[in-house]
Structure 1
Amino acid sequence: MTTEDGGADRGHLLRVLGVAFGVAVIVGGTIGQGILRSPGVVAEGGKTPFVIIGLWLLGGLIAWIDAMSTVELASSIRKTGGPFIFARRTYGSMGGLAVGIADWLGNMGGIAFVSVVFAEYIHRLGIATSLPLGIIALLLVCVVGVVQSLGTKIGGRSQEVGSAIKAVLFLLLIAGLLLAPRGEPVATPVSPGMATALTISGIVVALRAIFGTYQGWNSAAYFCEEVRDPAKAIARATFSGIAVVTGIYVLVNLALLHVMTPAEMAGSNLVAADAAERVFGAAADPIVTGISLIALVTIINAMVMVFPRVLFAMAREFEITPLTRVTRVGTPIAALIATVVVGGGLALIGVYETLLAFSTSILALMGVAVNAAVIVLRRKEPDLERPYRMPLYPLPAIVALVINLALFVAFVREDPVTSLEAFAALAVLTVVGWWLTRGKRPAG
């Protein structure tokens, strides 16, 4: 189902992407509004600059360890679709279907949410204030969908350009905070939580916030059939992407700590804006808002490129022909249209928050499934070619599994009713999907 550049047969994915794309789609799909907001939560939990920076580094290290499972599976199986393909190969059709539905549908809520946040920032700049937020969000998703419809090469290049612009803007902000003369202190309230000593619960809350900002590190693994030499490129792109993201996150926090104390950061809902206001004065709000808009656009662009691959992979495995159509330029067009319609539609009608609440615990459990899949597949298919084999096996997989399982338990305990509803909904959708695909022989 894949051709090299130049083959371009109708109905086939094209192997035209490189390591630079893999790094770009990780940076584009990971760095966003979270790093501008989460430092306040982390500062309240970490208390001191040393602990705060250590926690951000720990977040990157955990993502790196977690990535070892994904990279081993992706470099071994080498099929487009991400966790769905890993689960399908390891746990069978029913397990794969459940993971695929959870991954695609849960992230449709993510597309809707991020696009609505983009619309809110557009209004904040005084642009198109007469248009409802849902309409602006839908237009963004549609525009990005049009860009992705132009082909894999153009879609990949848009990731590279967008991520490069975003990285430069963040580095300029970092340099500005570190080098510019400080202005007058901003009236930032000090969080009452800073009066308490460092606690385990505070560290856990901080780490949860950090983990959220690293989501997206696995984006390159969704393109195994479209990346040149996936046996090596997925590993290079994934680990390089995580390193770039971690570096930017640490530098941002060092710059924030240069301008504000941990107590001041903990009292801020948007630390980057308050720090920028202290340095740049009245110009701070449009600066931070502009950076936020670029970050949000690149996230939407990454998501609208990634998640049609999940739908396409499921349709191909279960022989749902209408959703397997691919254009001559490599775009899984039917899956892309479905993704734009559902993601944009959720943004328009405003029910994405329910879907996001449903997806939190489910997506955490997906991480557990991927970590376990490495161990299961090593036993199930010991002779499978594994160009990348995680070091110190199975320790990294077990460590990541325990962390993801702890997150899953925390999410369930925080909102058991919504979690129960989420798993009930997933069970129903999986059974319905299984019934609709009955008689279909999954592709080998």
Structure 2
Amino acid sequence: MTTETQLPDPDRGHLLRVLGVTFGIAVVVGGVIGQGILRTPGVVAEGVQSPAWIIALWALCGLVAFIDSMSTVELAASIRQTGGPYAFARRAFGSLTGLAVGVCDWLGNMGGIAFIAVVFGEYLHRLGILTGVPIGWLALMAVICVGCVQWLGTKVGGRSQEIGSAVKAALFGVLILGLFFAPRGTPVATEVEPATAVALTFAGVVMALRAISGTYYGWNGAAYFCEEVVDPGRSIAKATFSGIAVVTAIYVLANVAYLQVLTPAEMAGSNLVAADAAGRVFGEAAGPVVTAVSLISLVTILNAMVMVFPRVLFAMAREYQVPKLSDVAANGTPRLALIATVVTGGLLATIGVYETLLIFSTALLALMSVLVNAAAIVVRIREPGLERPWKMPLYPLPALIALAINATLFVVFVVEDPATTAKAFGALAVLILVAWIATRRKPVAS
């Protein structure tokens, strides 16, 4: 069995293997670090008010992401097909399960694209930019602009992600250093109401862990580009693990910096800890500083998502040989898949349906993670002779640990909101049925 999917028609073009490890790190860092590290520390401090525990939990979630990533990295290094979890599920469980995972991944993240674009519009208004333009239209324009960058090809899109992620990391570095070393200014008036210190509880730790784990989502970004990264058997591992290490370092250092300025009780009363900490140090200049950091963060996440998820749609279309949708331009961009992604994400941003998709996607994406962990074990058993340039150490322990964690999260999400979860799976079942009916007469690419 070949490890590379061949296009059924070479005249339709092909993805270009022009990306390197630097891009892989950039798509991880750029696709992960965003509003979470600016806002989530307040939620974490509500559950845990010990500085040592706060830092430990942020580091622990980085370790969990590292362990979870081992299944994805092994699959990506050995299967080497575009599409990320879709390609892994298809290889391990067959076309129908692969189709279900691909639809879930693509549709759920359309809500993510829309949400991020809307927040981008809100922050532009906060800076007094284009305040006469509705936020929904600003969000649509943001998605279109990022789509235009990706239209220019894989090299241009990859380089834009590298530059954006580097700028983002530098800005966070400046913010962290500023909080560490800048002279303390006069505290400005904020809406922070210090919470009463509470004892460490199991419920508080769970609340903190859930909040932190969400800020690490997106660490698997490099795995979607297995047919475009040079030497994917090794590069995906280097990019993913290095990216997670960079993200973890920034998250831990940012929280250490916040705690240099604010007490855990003050953090627990804040819905934007970074702004309150910066206000304590920089005074009135804090607002524009944090907003600028936020804007760069949002743009790089949006750019990463608009580059990643057309690959999922393209991979599904290629498997079932859907005309045009499986075509690739000479510059390496699957343009019709890109258009479909931009249009869907952009329209959701203007009409607000993205909120429903975000709620729906939580349990679905947790289940998708479970399937990826299981796929690593299944492929090992079924294909013991498959070339594996990178193998997870202590197999199958990392996959089993990650599977248990993701399964627990899935159960928690279902128990917390069974009605929404039922709707999510009902909607997914309908979409899968429609996709299956539309493609069942299509020959499946080998």
Which range, TM-score by smaller chain? over 0.9
Tell me the CA shift for residue 432 of structure 1.
1.1
Q: What is aligned with 1:364?
A: 366
Deviation string 1:57-81 (CA, Å, 9 cap, x unpaired) is 0010000000000000000000010
Tell me the CA shift for residue 197 of structure 1.
1.0
Q: What is aligned with 1:226?
A: 228
Tell me the CA shift for residue 10 of structure 1.
5.6
Tell me the CA shift for residue 412 of structure 1.
1.2
Whole-Å Cα distance in 1 between the matches of residues 349 and 231 of structure 2?
Answer: 37
Tell me the CA shift for residue 159 of structure 1.
0.5
Tell me the CA shift for residue 56 of structure 1.
0.5
Q: What is aligned with 2:331?
A: 329
Whole-Å Cα distance in 2 between the matches of residues 162 and 2 of structure 1?
Answer: 31
Q: What is aligned with 1:100?
A: 102
Q: After the TM superposition, which parts of structure 1 deviate over 2 Å for at least 4 consecutive aligned residues?
A: 184-192
Deviation string 1:140-170 (CA, Å, 9 cap, x unpaired) is 0000000000000000000000000000000
DSSP 3-state at the match of 1:103: helix
The answer on whether the counterparts of 1:170 and 1:291 sit within 8 Å (CA) in structure 2 is: yes
Whole-Å Cα distance in 2 between the matches of residues 45 and 379 of structure 1?
Answer: 41
Matched, 1:173 2:175: yes
Q: What is aligned with 2:266?
A: 264
DSSP 3-state at the match of 1:323: coil
The answer on whether the counterparts of 1:2 and 1:12 sit within 8 Å (CA) in structure 2 is: no
Distance 1:2 1:146, change over 3 A: farther
Q: What is aligned with 2:278?
A: 276
Write out aligned runs for 1:31-180 (5 A). Answer: 31-180=33-182
Whole-Å Cα distance in 1 between the matches of residues 11 and 162 of structure 2?
Answer: 25
Q: What is aligned with 2:382?
A: 380
The answer on whether the counterparts of 1:2 and 1:13 sit within 8 Å (CA) in structure 2 is: no
Worse-matched range after superposition: 76-85 or 182-191: 182-191
Tell me the CA shift for residue 291 of structure 1.
0.5
Q: What is aligned with 1:297?
A: 299
Worse-matched range after superposition: 60-69 or 401-410: 401-410
Q: What is the identity, as a one-letter code, of the residue corresponding to 2:382?
A: K
The answer on whether the counterparts of 1:90 and 1:377 sit within 8 Å (CA) in structure 2 is: yes
Q: What is the identity, as a one-letter code, of the residue corresponding to 2:66?
A: W
Whole-Å Cα distance in 1 between the matches of residues 437 and 268 of structure 2?
Answer: 51
The answer on whether the counterparts of 2:5 and 2:445 sit within 8 Å (CA) in structure 1 is: no
Q: What is the identity, as a one-letter code, of the residue corresponding to 1:97?
A: L
With structure 1 as the length reference, what TM-score do the two structures score? 0.97
Whole-Å Cα distance in 2 between the matches of residues 90 and 347 of structure 1?
Answer: 35
DSSP 3-state at the match of 1:320: coil
Deviation string 1:395-425 (CA, Å, 9 cap, x unpaired) is 1001101111111111111211110000011
Whole-Å Cα distance in 1 between the matches of residues 120 and 207 of structure 2?
Answer: 26
Structure 1 unaligned segments of length 5 or more: list them: none
Q: What is aligned with 1:442?
A: 444
DSSP 3-state at the match of 1:324: coil
Deviation string 1:186-242 (CA, Å, 9 cap, x unpaired) is 5554454x4331011111111111111101100000000000000000000000000
Structure 2 unaligned segments of length 5 or more: list them: none
Q: CA RMSD in A?
A: 1.4
Q: What is the identity, as a one-letter code, of the residue corresponding to 1:171?
A: G
Whole-Å Cα distance in 2 between the matches of residues 100 and 202 of structure 1?
Answer: 34
Tell me the CA shift for residue 2 of structure 1.
8.9
Q: What is the identity, as a one-letter code, of the residue corresponding to 2:146?
A: V
Q: What is aligned with 2:25?
A: 23
Distance 1:276 1:9, change over 3 A: farther
Worse-matched range after superposition: 74-83 or 39-48: 39-48
Whole-Å Cα distance in 2 between the matches of residues 171 and 191 of structure 1?
Answer: 27
Q: How many residue pairs end up in the alignment?
A: 439
Q: What is aligned with 2:216?
A: 214
Tell me the CA shift for residue 181 of structure 1.
1.0
Whole-Å Cα distance in 2 between the matches of residues 84 and 149 of structure 1?
Answer: 23
The answer on whether the counterparts of 2:5 and 2:81 sit within 8 Å (CA) in structure 1 is: no
Whole-Å Cα distance in 2 between the matches of residues 124 and 384 of structure 1?
Answer: 53
Q: What is aligned with 1:410?
A: 412
Q: What is the identity, as a one-letter code, of the residue corresponding to 1:289?
A: T
Whole-Å Cα distance in 2 between the matches of residues 392 and 284 of structure 1?
Answer: 47
The answer on whether the counterparts of 1:2 and 1:225 sit within 8 Å (CA) in structure 2 is: no
Worse-matched range after superposition: 303-312 or 382-391: 382-391
Distance 1:92 1:247, change over 3 A: same
Whole-Å Cα distance in 1 between the matches of residues 443 and 299 of structure 2?
Answer: 39
With structure 2 as the length reference, what TM-score do the two structures score? 0.96
The answer on whether the counterparts of 1:364 and 1:404 sit within 8 Å (CA) in structure 2 is: yes
Q: What is the identity, as a one-letter code, of the residue corresponding to 1:267?
A: G
- Identity value in percent: 69
Whole-Å Cα distance in 1 between the matches of residues 34 and 211 of structure 2?
Answer: 13
Whole-Å Cα distance in 2 between the matches of residues 288 and 159 of structure 1?
Answer: 21
Matched, 1:316 2:318: yes
